[in-house]
Amino acid sequence: MEYKDYYQILGVSRDVSKADLKKAYRLLARKYHPDVSKEADAEAKFKEVGEAYEVLKDSEKRSQYDQFGSNYKNGQSFTPPPGWGQQNAGAGGHGNFSNFFESMFGGQAGAGMGGGGRDNFYAPGEDVHTKITITLEDAFNGAKKAIRRPSGSTETGTLNVKIPAGISSGKKIRLSGQGKAGMGGKPGDLYLEIAIAPHAHYRLDGNNILLDLPLAPWEAALGAKVTVPTLAGKINLTIPANAKSGQKMRLKGRGLPSKQAGDQFVILQIINPPADSKKAKELFLQMAEELSFNPRESLQAAL
């Protein structure tokens, strides 16, 4: 009866973890799967790999194998497990597996493998994760994008993806069955994590959109009506007199759409004209002389 070193078959050490064991098995199962492998003895190796994994993945079977299988290899004396030496070549037998496997584990091991046929022994597909970057306009309005399938997907080419309106950075779009295919099992899914590219004018704060609005000093002092852009179109905004830099004005419902739509906040920023001409300098000097204004008055107590 030929001894089979299941650890050697899978190319792993005897203290291999379950995660690394599974990884090693999947690689070999793909390599030798008869439907894809070109090697002459692919089916025999595929069954051998499956036999090894069937034992080592199960803690109880692995313990039994480590105890009795190692002794069997080294010719040491040992107390045989129940069923040792019995053959199962009759009805219900599992001729796809080695005599060593049959003697060690009998019908209990083969029963969970659907008779050991290759069609019942498969590796499930794997999910694939990647990131895609979209514009803020795409996030606001929704869009349809053709994206290249990421590395790791079973198929190549492009995918048409629908970007829902109101999606935010960090959210994921799941494309069922578009991940990596397994061996006879259902393919995994493709997960697209959304990243929103920086915008030239707007910033995001959750579902809210922020916009800095430059104002001339006289617009802030006297009040004014100015045209303000939003992602849904421009609007006219009334600036109150004596407005201050940093003051926020809320445009309700003009943020990212959702069940509870965000808002757009317009942040006022007073911009002084440059004193780059004789006339401009004269006007600034006149203001300094005629206006009783000390911008640091609130700091007097600390000075």
Residue 98 and residue 28 in one domain: yes
Residue 76, in any domain of the structure: yes
CATH number at residue 22: 1.10.287.110
- Domain boundary residue, one of 75, 94, 120: 120
Residue 103, in any domain of the structure: yes
Residue 241 and residue 271 in one domain: yes
Q: One-letter amino acid identity for 10?
A: L
> What is the band of 237 on the pLDDT scale with cuts at 50, 70, 90?
very high
For residue 110, pLDDT beyond 60: no
Please report the pLDDT score of residue 297 as a whole number: 85
Residue 252 and residue 159 in one domain: no
d(CA 218, CA 238) in angstroms, rounded, equals 14
> What is the band of 96 on the pLDDT scale with cuts at 50, 70, 90?
low
Q: 143-193, pLDDT tens digit by residue?
A: 999 998 887 777 788 999 999 999 999 999 999 989 888 766 678 899 999
Please report the pLDDT score of residue 94 as a whole number: 44
Residue 189 and residue 112 in one domain: no
User: pTM for this one?
Assistant: 0.59
CATH number at residue 167: 2.60.260.20
Please report the pLDDT score of residue 93 as a whole number: 42
Residue 114 and residue 142 in one domain: no
How big is the chain, counted in residues?
303
Residue 143 and residue 208 in one domain: no
Residue 256, in any domain of the structure: yes
Residue 155 and residue 192 in one domain: yes
Residue 10 and residue 105 in one domain: yes
Q: 23-41, pLDDT tens digit by residue?
A: 998 888 888 887 777 788 8
Residue 163 and residue 89 in one domain: no
E-only strand ranges, 55-189:
128-134, 143-148, 158-163, 172-175
Residue 170, in any domain of the structure: yes
Residue 58, in any domain of the structure: yes
Please report the pLDDT score of residue 116 as a whole number: 44
Distance of CA 187 to the CA centre of its chain: 17
Residue 296, in any domain of the structure: no
Closest C-alpha to 69, from 8, 113, 3:
3
Q: Which domain holds residue 174?
A: 128-196
d(CA 61, CA 240) in angstroms, rounded, equals 79
Average pLDDT taken over every residue of the chain: 83
- Least confident range from 49-58, 117-126, 248-257: namely 117-126
Residue 300, in any domain of the structure: no
Please report the pLDDT score of residue 86 as a whole number: 45
For residue 119, pLDDT beyond 90: no
Q: 126-144, pLDDT tens digit by residue?
A: 899 999 999 999 999 999 9
Residue 188 and residue 208 in one domain: no
Please report the pLDDT score of residue 102 as a whole number: 60
Residue 51 and residue 105 in one domain: yes
The proportion of the chain whose per-residue pLDDT surpasses 70, expressed as a percent, equals 79
Please state the domain count of the chain: 3
Residue 164 and residue 263 in one domain: no
Residue 295, in any domain of the structure: no
Sort strands 224-228 and 235-239 into parallel, antiparallel or unpaired.
antiparallel
Please report the pLDDT score of residue 76 as a whole number: 46
- Domain boundary residue, one of 79, 103, 120: 120
- Domain boundary residue, one of 95, 120, 145: 120
